[in-house]
Structure 1
Amino acid sequence: METPEIEKSKVHITVEIIEYVPNSVVIKTILKKSTGNISVMSFDAGEGLTEKTTPFDTYAQIIEGTAKIVIDGESHELMTGQSIIIPAHAPNCIKPNGRFKMILTVIKSGYD
């Protein structure tokens, strides 16, 4: 089931858009367009995402906690307030490192 976007023209506290759910990864769409999307995600302790590749660059921002993001075999430890661009077509995964929340932004247009 597709979650609706958050309400427009309303102030939001980003870290409060999504809650932790025990033993789960939760994803909520902030904005979804044909040219890209923005999602906020929460990861309970011990939860992560398996290795994948995407055809577009992805901007990952940690908004609470810490996360380990592995890009093309290189591990990056990110803390609250830090971000990284995951390049298109690069194998990547998110490994458990306690509870954390992050925003993922994917821009699909104008790709070379």
Structure 2
Amino acid sequence: MIYTEIILKKENFTMNNIIKAGQPTELKDLISYEEGSIANLDIAHADNMKFVLMAFDEGTGLTPHRAPGNAILTALEGKAIIGYEGKDYELSAGESFRFDKNGLHSVTAQGKFKMSLLLVIE
């Protein structure tokens, strides 16, 4: 179980109703793979944060880039190679990885791969 509490200003906060109140949900089941591409599904966002699900089809990935804030990536299904500041790390379902603001990182799916991303922008 993961518990996270983030305090947001109500007027700038949007939550996707795909997750139903009072109903257990596996995040990996909320997003489908799209052939040859990366699918994205925003779950919640505000001016200073974003929580998104991503599904990487086999052979896809994100080239090296820098995040605008601190981020936590959690593997939901499959495996990926996470490049971070010049080193590679294998991430499997159930594992998480943190990026610092402006940390150079990439994601390369090893087969089909699903993940969640919590991005907090300062």
Instruction: Name the counterpart of 1:66.
Output: 79
The structure in which a higher percent of residues are strand is 2
Aligned: 1:108 with 2:121 = yes
1:28-59 Cα shifts (integer Å, max 9, x gaps): 00001112010000000000001100231110
SS at match of 1:52: strand
Give TM-score, length-normalised by structure 1: 0.87
SS at match of 1:96: strand
SS at match of 1:15: helix
How far residue 6 of structure 1 moved from its aligned partner, in angstroms, is 2.3
Q: Percent identity?
A: 25
Instruction: Name the counterpart of 1:45.
Output: 58
Of residues 99-108 and 10-19 in structure 1, the stretch that sits farther from structure 2 once superposed is 10-19
Matching residue within 3, 14, 18 for 2:31: 18
What is the aligned-residue RMSD (CA, Å)?
1.5
Deviation beyond 2 Å, 4+ runs, structure 1:
8-13
How far residue 9 of structure 1 moved from its aligned partner, in angstroms, is 5.0
Instruction: Name the counterpart of 2:11.
Output: none
Give TM-score, length-normalised by structure 2: 0.81
SS at match of 2:32: coil
Matching residue within 87, 92, 105 for 2:105: 92
Mark the runs of 5 or more structure 2 residues left unpaired by the alignment. Answer: 1-13
